[in-house]
Amino acid sequence: MKVKVLSRNPDDYVRETKLDIQRVPRNYDPSLHPFEVPREYTRALNATKLERVFAKPFLASLDGHRDGVNCMAKHPKSLSTMLSGSCDGELKVWNLTKRECVRTLQAHEGFVRGMVVRFCGTSFFTVGDDKTIKQWKMETPGYGEEEEPLNTILGKSVFTSIDHHQKEGVFVTCGQQVDIWDEQRSSPIRSFSWGVDSFSCVRFNPVETELLASCASDRSIVLYDMREATPLKKVIMNMRSNTLCWNPMEAYNFTCSNEDYNLYTYDMRYLDKPFTVHMDHVSAVLDVDYSPTGKEFVSASFDKTIRIFPKDSGHSREVYHTKRMQHVISIKWSSDNKYILSASDEMNIRLWKANAAEKLGLVRQTVLFLSFTSSVRTSSNLQVPGIKSNVMKERWISEQCRMLTINR
Amino acid sequence: MCVKWTTVVPCCVFCLIQGGSDDERKHCKLLEAIKHCAPMTPSALIKTKKQLKNLQHNQSTLETPLTRKETERIQREVAFEKTSKEVSRWQSVVLQNQKAEQLVFPLNQEPSGPKRIEQVVAGWKAQTPLEQEIFSLLRMNKQPLHDPVLTPTEEASLRAMSLEEAKIRRAELQKARVLQSYYEAKAKRERKIKSKKYHRVQKKVMRKEYLKQFDEMVKTDPAAALEELKKMELSRMKERMSLKHQNSGKWAKSKAIMAKYDDGARKAMQKQLEVNKDLTLKLVIPADEDEEDEEESAETLPDFVNDAEHILDQVNPWMRGKLSTDPMVQEESNRLDPPVVRPRELGTPGEGRDDQEEDEEQMEETEEEALLRGFEERRKLQISDDNEEAVEISDDEEAVEISDDEAGLSKFTSLFHGLVNNHMEPPADQPKAGPGVGQGESPALLEEGLVRVRTLEDVELLSQDVSASDPAPLTTTQTPGTEETDTQSATQQADKKRKRKKMIDPNEVLTKEAKVIKMPLAPTAVEDVEGKEEQRVIIKEAFAGDDVISDFLKDKRKQEEAGRPKVIDLTLPGWGEWGGLGLQPSRSKRKRFRVKVAPPPPRQDQKLPNIIISEKRDSSIAAHQVCQLPFPFENPTQFERTIRSPVGRTWNTQNTVQKITAPKVVTQLGAIIEPIAREYLIKDNRQAVTGPSINLESDQGPQKKRRSQQKKKHKRKKN
């Protein structure tokens, strides 16, 4: 015999605390609540507007460099640590929570072109205009000790970019060719070159760790496999790509920032055409970095703005800019997906929220925020002052393309 | 000396030219040849020279190796293919993450809650003597060391059966026990019943049941049936040996005394003897088991003679085959599908006759069945039963059938005519509308009036009928001579058809395509009957109810109608004058309050007969519409359904709102999110093998299903 017993979920009728409002059963009959669509629309609109009202993305500015900041590096193990290298060869290590520089060292003569922290976080590598690769300790040297690199490798030509393998003691540099180095050796274990040209950026795939991609100055993007003797594939675009970034959650997708104001997302298996073109910038895009969730990426442009794009959308969801920020050269998305760091021409590093309207605890500082309240119509209706109109952009691009065809 | 020189040189050359076993063999041969003819003969020399030449001719140059560029290209291609294949393994993971309702980062989070002791104390060792003693004791008694809850036996039992399984099992056992107790109680009660009649009836029922089982067994398991037969034989033997039913008992003797005066007693005695006879009758096991088994069973158990007879009927293949379908049902079904059968008969007269014949045959069959049924019933009433007789009767049947046939046919035809008349009634109205249509041959005129529209629709309906029934109308008009030779009814039908044809005409004139479509149908009519028949059936099947052109025209007209503004009547009856039942508001008033709306701008497709341009698009709404289907959705209806359902608290419960508005990506402040690791891929593959794939097309809302699946996955992870 089965006895049927009334059973209810107490969550439906019991308050969590005494201070909560009593739960009142409601009648959800749609006929009692008319104008469903208009009401919902108004609510959505209000929510969007409020989001704009509360959008205060700018958190802090880190100043201290005496020249334009050329490159940055995230620490893989510590969220609060960040490295930046400037155009005068100076390197600074920052503590982001305190927003202060904890260490300064003269790394190179001339530009610091690239830097990367080893996967374990104990040391980092820098490359500069003085044709050297230097490995440094992460720890600050004790009192009386001199700032000296652990290793210095003198190359034949200028290195423009460096990246480290995700798990092994292998790193890659690029300059006139793409070199793969073992940490223990002073000469590259492998060199790739495909035609004579210089490379501007090289990146390891964070998922399929043996894969590499590089941007060459002959307007091409070249893919490599560390285990193979030859490069894998090359795609030549209309204009030069400055940097590229692999999607950390999707092994075969990468996005490159191009001189023609656009970003292109490629599937590395089908390189004949990009599967998304991200437009909105009105000047050359200089750097790109993916959010660690792989859902969005942020781009830095010569037009003095930062834009955040959803990875499969053609237009940006957000644009950050301030009056004082000049050409943004380098950009990084923090590895907890909450912050964005931008390094720009005018010697400053800026800290932004990744979600402009998100509340991130107590922030007590005179924050220079943007008011978007004047344009609250929709979230896509963001006003960006003092930049070239689209018409001008089109004209410029067509001009460039024409020049290219003439030169060819 | 000279000879020696000659022998050496060819060998050397030989070796240089080619290597390998074949050459060695030749080499040996050569040497032998030389040995045999120590003083060198000129013939041998010539031979060797020839061989040499041959060898030199055979030599072909190796291919030059590919250039470095080309080899590199090939290498690159191979390498790229390899890596792209390797990378493609991530496809499923990526897709899954894209479709996921909510992603929580970092991905490889450890499950919250207390950890198992064995994980925590992985490196811990018993050190103090007390601890060591305790552990040795535990070990000796096979008690769990790390996991304090389960002993090995318990774990084994857990592994053997899951909780749910155990529950099911327990429920089954419980049920079985209850049933058993019920059954026992019932048996106990029945045993206590003293009524003899009750037990007799019981026994009879039992026997019947047994017989039924036996029949089944014969069909399904002949071996077991044989066993049963043997048992029966044994029981017969026992019966023969015993004095049962011999009328020698006390009861029989008393009855014998009574028999003189009591009819009942006499009958009872006779019955008793009969039983004895039946029970002791020898079983004959014939070669043809299938049919005789039942008879034997009937003989052994004579109580059920009537039933046996019934069984015999069942066995009779003659009866078995036909009576399966009830003739009434058949007729009903015939009546139900006249649109399929009838129009075909209306088609070409020649074929129509064929069809009719077919139908008649069908009817004959049904008649036969009816008769057979009657006979069967009659036979059930009869006590006598004989196979041969039955056959005779069936023979008789056929004799009767012929006479019955006609009656049935006439019945059928009358019924059919009635149906046809019903079907043709709408066309009977046609002549009134006919002239109108005849005049309105130009499409512009046709578009005007309400009446005309209705007739046109009718016409279209008709044309659909005709096109569905037969492609022959053209042929009938082309060869009127053949028609006349047919029966009267056929000509009548043809006449009707001709009328119809006239009505179709304007429709055909309307567009050029109509002609194009009808052209290929004409030659099919010329082909031989059987081929045409087949083709016709095929075409009919393929284009069942397909009249594209008229459908299109209908559609266009409908859209035009919908786009035309309607006259708004604002008259209020009884306002300013008397009102009531049967009182119409005055004409002037009606005129005054009828608002005429200005005609809309001319349609874009007004002068394009083959095109419908929709004018529904509203630019003000279009701003809010999507031009592309968002990612996870596969068809617009799915998307619309999701969009239509409200999100707010006013229309949904708290829980639903929370579920719907949950963020797509959840990240923790201060938690470093590593790039996706290879282990995830392996895990995913394992899940893909066990778990079902995501299915968006289910009727259930896509979100719910996915959510439940995610939950499942989550559970699995925890496990």
Find the mean pLDDT for residues B587-615: 86
One domain for residues A349 and A391: no
Distance CA B668, CA A193 (A): 42
Task: Answer yes or no: is pLDDT of B414 > 70.
Answer: no
Task: Answer yes or no: is pLDDT of B181 > 90.
Answer: yes
Task: Answer yes or no: is pLDDT of B43 > 60.
Answer: yes
Closest CA to B422 of B329, B335, B545, B504: B335
Collect all residues of chain B within an 8 Å Cβ-Cβ radius of residue A354: none
One domain for residues A394 and A346: no
Distance CA B152, CA B140 (A): 13
Closest CA to A190 of A208, A213, A170: A170
* B650/A293 touch (CB, cutoff 8 Å), yes or no: no
When pLDDT is cut at 50, 70 and 90, the band that residue B543 belongs to is confident
| First CA to last CA distance, chain A | 90
One domain for residues A389 and A301: no
Helix H or strand E segment including B467: helix B450-469
Task: Answer yes or no: is pLDDT of B182 > 70.
Answer: yes
Task: Answer yes or no: is pLDDT of B478 > 60.
Answer: no
**Chain A residue with the nearest C-alpha to that of B68:** A230
Find the mean pLDDT for residues A70-91: 95
Give the whole-number percent of chain B exceeding pLDDT 90. Answer: 13
One domain for residues A255 and A128: yes
What lies within 8 Å, CB to CB, of A66 at 6+ separation is A86, A88, A90, A347
Distance from CA of B613 to the nearest CA of A (A): 29
Q: Which one of B83, B647, B678 has the shortest CB-CB distance to A225? A: B83
One domain for residues A280 and A195: yes
Asked if B103 and B691 count as a contact pair (C-beta separation under 8 A), the reply is: no
pLDDT of residue B119: 66
What lies within 8 Å, CB to CB, of A313 at 6+ separation is A276, A278
What lies within 8 Å, CB to CB, of B570 at 6+ separation is B593, B594, B595
pLDDT of residue B81: 94
Asked if residue A73 belongs to a domain, the reply is yes
Asked if residue A2 belongs to a domain, the reply is no
Asked if residue A306 belongs to a domain, the reply is yes
Q: What is the CATH number of the domain that holds A334?
A: 2.130.10.10
* B87/A248 touch (CB, cutoff 8 Å), yes or no: no
pLDDT of residue A298: 97
Collect all residues of chain A within an 8 Å Cβ-Cβ radius of residue B87: 208, 211, 251-252, 268-269
Find the mean pLDDT for residues A56-61: 93
Instruction: Report which of residues B114 and A389 the model is more confident about.
Output: B114
Which of B66, B68, B71, B87 would you mutate first to test chain A, the one with the most A CBs within 10 A?
Answer: B87
* A230/B671 touch (CB, cutoff 8 Å), yes or no: no
Distance CA B714, CA B587 (A): 75
Find the mean pLDDT for residues B165-186: 94
Report the sign of the C-alpha dihedral through residues A396, A400, A402, A406, in that order: positive
Instruction: Report which of residues B571 and B442 the model is more confident about.
Output: B571
Q: How far is CA B575 from CA A37, A210, B531, B579, in A?
A: 38, 89, 73, 8
* Amino acid at position B689, single letter: V
* A250/B94 touch (CB, cutoff 8 Å), yes or no: yes
Asked if residue A65 belongs to a domain, the reply is yes
pLDDT of residue B268: 87
When pLDDT is cut at 50, 70 and 90, the band that residue B336 belongs to is very low
Task: Answer yes or no: is pLDDT of B537 > 90.
Answer: no
Q: Find tokens 């040391």 and name the residue.
A: A123
Find the mean pLDDT for residues B307-311: 42
Find the mean pLDDT for residues B653-660: 88
Find the mean pLDDT for residues B287-299: 44
Find the mean pLDDT for residues A242-248: 96
Task: Answer yes or no: is pLDDT of B681 > 60.
Answer: yes
Interface of A with B (CB under 8 A): 28, 30, 33, 36, 39-40, 43, 76-77, 79, 166, 206-208, 211, 223, 225, 228-233, 248-253, 268-269, 292-295, 312, 335-338, 360-361
Task: Answer yes or no: is pLDDT of B377 > 70.
Answer: no
Asked if residue A30 belongs to a domain, the reply is no
Scanning B193-288, the segments in alpha helix (DSSP H) are: 196-220, 222-241, 250-259, 263-280
Distance from CA of B672 to the nearest CA of A (A): 5
When pLDDT is cut at 50, 70 and 90, the band that residue A161 belongs to is very high
Distance CA B687, CA B141 (A): 39
Of A21-35, A125-139, B597-611, B696-710, the least confident: B696-710
- In terms of Cβ atoms closer than 10 Å to its own Cβ (0-12, 13-18, 19+), residue B428 is exposed
When pLDDT is cut at 50, 70 and 90, the band that residue B715 belongs to is very low
SS3 assignment, position B252:
helix
Q: What is the pLDDT of residues A306-322, one digit of tens each?
A: 999 999 999 999 999 99
* B105/A292 touch (CB, cutoff 8 Å), yes or no: yes
Task: Answer yes or no: is pLDDT of A93 > 50.
Answer: yes
Collect all residues of chain B within an 8 Å Cβ-Cβ radius of residue A190: none
pLDDT of residue A398: 73
Output B373-379 pairs: Cβ under 8 A, ≥24 positions apart.
B373/B323, B373/B327, B376/B313, B376/B319, B376/B323, B379/B313
Distance CA A203, CA A213 (A): 5
Q: What is the pLDDT of residues B616-648, one digit of tens each?
A: 788 888 888 888 888 888 899 999 998 888 998
* DSSP state letters, B322-337: HTTS-HHHHHHHHHH-
Asked if residue A359 belongs to a domain, the reply is no
Task: Answer yes or no: is pLDDT of A24 > 90.
Answer: no
Find the mean pLDDT for residues B25-36: 69
Task: Answer yes or no: is pLDDT of A34 > 60.
Answer: yes
Distance from CA of A110 to the nearest CA of B (A): 33
- Quote the Cα angle for B192-B198-B200, to 5°: 115
SS3 assignment, position A265:
strand
What lies within 8 Å, CB to CB, of B457 at 6+ separation is B554
SS3 assignment, position A192:
strand
Task: Answer yes or no: is pLDDT of B710 > 70.
Answer: no
pLDDT of residue B132: 86
One domain for residues A230 and A378: no
How many domains does chain A contain in total? 2
Among A153-162, B105-114, B161-170, B561-570, the range of highest mean pLDDT: A153-162
B142: left (phi over 0), alpha (psi -120 to 50) or beta: left
Distance CA A76, CA A95 (A): 14
Q: Which one of B72, B88, B651 has the shortest CB-CB distance to A28? A: B651
Find the mean pLDDT for residues B557-585: 85
Which of A23, A167, A269 would you mutate first to test chain B, the one with the most B CBs within 10 A?
Answer: A269
Asked if residue A201 belongs to a domain, the reply is yes
Closest CA to A26 of B647, B661, B651, B646: B651
When pLDDT is cut at 50, 70 and 90, the band that residue B521 belongs to is very low
Helix H or strand E segment including B378: helix B349-381
One domain for residues A313 and A399: no
Give the whole-number percent of chain A exceeding pLDDT 90. Answer: 75
Give phi and psi for B556, each to the nearest 5: -65, -45
Collect all residues of chain A within an 8 Å Cβ-Cβ radius of residue B652: 28
Task: Answer yes or no: is pLDDT of A260 > 50.
Answer: yes
* A252/B90 touch (CB, cutoff 8 Å), yes or no: yes
**Chain A residue with the nearest C-alpha to that of B678:** A207
Task: Answer yes or no: is pLDDT of B391 > 50.
Answer: no
One domain for residues A264 and A378: no
* A337/B83 touch (CB, cutoff 8 Å), yes or no: no
One domain for residues A93 and A224: yes
Instruction: Report which of residues B467 and A192 the model is more confident about.
Output: A192
pLDDT of residue B386: 47
pLDDT of residue A349: 96
* B676/A207 touch (CB, cutoff 8 Å), yes or no: yes
Give the pairing of strands A112-117 and A123-128: antiparallel
Among A226-240, B52-66, B123-137, B445-459, the range of highest mean pLDDT: A226-240
Scanning B485-618, the segments in alpha helix (DSSP H) are: 488-510, 512-518, 521-526, 529-542, 548-563, 587-593
Find the mean pLDDT for residues A102-126: 95
Give the whole-number percent of chain B exceeding pLDDT 70. Answer: 52
One domain for residues A188 and A267: yes
Mean pLDDT of chain B: 68
When pLDDT is cut at 50, 70 and 90, the band that residue B36 belongs to is low
* DSSP state letters, A172-190: EEESSSEEEEETT-SS-SE
pLDDT of residue B502: 45
Collect all residues of chain B within an 8 Å Cβ-Cβ radius of residue A293: 103, 105, 665, 667, 673
Give phi and psi for B261, each to the nearest 5: -105, -30
DSSP state of A166: S
Q: How many CB atoms lie within 10 A of CB A76?
A: 18
Distance from CA of A334 to the nearest CA of B (A): 9
CB pairs under 8 A between A and B: 110
Asked if residue A309 belongs to a domain, the reply is yes
Find the mean pLDDT for residues B410-421: 48
**Chain A residue with the nearest C-alpha to that of B105:** A293
* DSSP state letters, A66-94: SS-EEEEEE-SS-TTEEEEEETTSEEEEE
Task: Answer yes or no: is pLDDT of B343 > 80.
Answer: no
pLDDT of residue B16: 44
Task: Answer yes or no: is pLDDT of A351 > 60.
Answer: yes
Distance from CA of A145 to the nearest CA of B (A): 32
pLDDT of residue B342: 43
One domain for residues A259 and A227: yes
* B668/A223 touch (CB, cutoff 8 Å), yes or no: no
pLDDT of residue B34: 63
Which of A232, A247, A289, A332 would you mutate first to test chain B, the one with the most B CBs within 10 A?
Answer: A232
Q: What is the pLDDT of residues B203-219, one digit of tens each?
A: 999 999 998 998 898 88
* Amino acid at position B261, single letter: Y
Task: Answer yes or no: is pLDDT of B169 > 70.
Answer: yes
One domain for residues A379 and A293: no
DSSP state of A270: B
Of A337-346, B230-239, B453-462, the least confident: B453-462
pLDDT of residue A355: 93
* Amino acid at position A314, single letter: G
Distance CA B32, CA B29 (A): 5
Task: Answer yes or no: is pLDDT of B711 > 60.
Answer: no
Of A10-24, B391-405, B535-549, the least confident: B391-405
* Amino acid at position B122, single letter: A
Q: What is the pLDDT of residues B1-22, one digit of tens each?
A: 444 444 444 444 444 444 445 6
Q: Which one of B94, B105, B647 has the shortest CB-CB distance to A337? A: B105
Among A398-407, B44-53, B512-521, the range of highest mean pLDDT: B44-53
Domain span at A257: 58-353
* A312/B631 touch (CB, cutoff 8 Å), yes or no: yes
Give the pairing of strands A233-236 and A220-225: antiparallel
Mean pLDDT of chain A: 88
**Chain A residue with the nearest C-alpha to that of B174:** A1
When pLDDT is cut at 50, 70 and 90, the band that residue B541 belongs to is confident
Interface of B with A (CB under 8 A): 72, 75-76, 79-80, 83-84, 86-88, 90, 94, 97, 103, 105, 631, 646-648, 650-653, 664-665, 667-678
Q: What is the pLDDT of residues A184-196, one digit of tens each?
A: 999 999 999 888 7
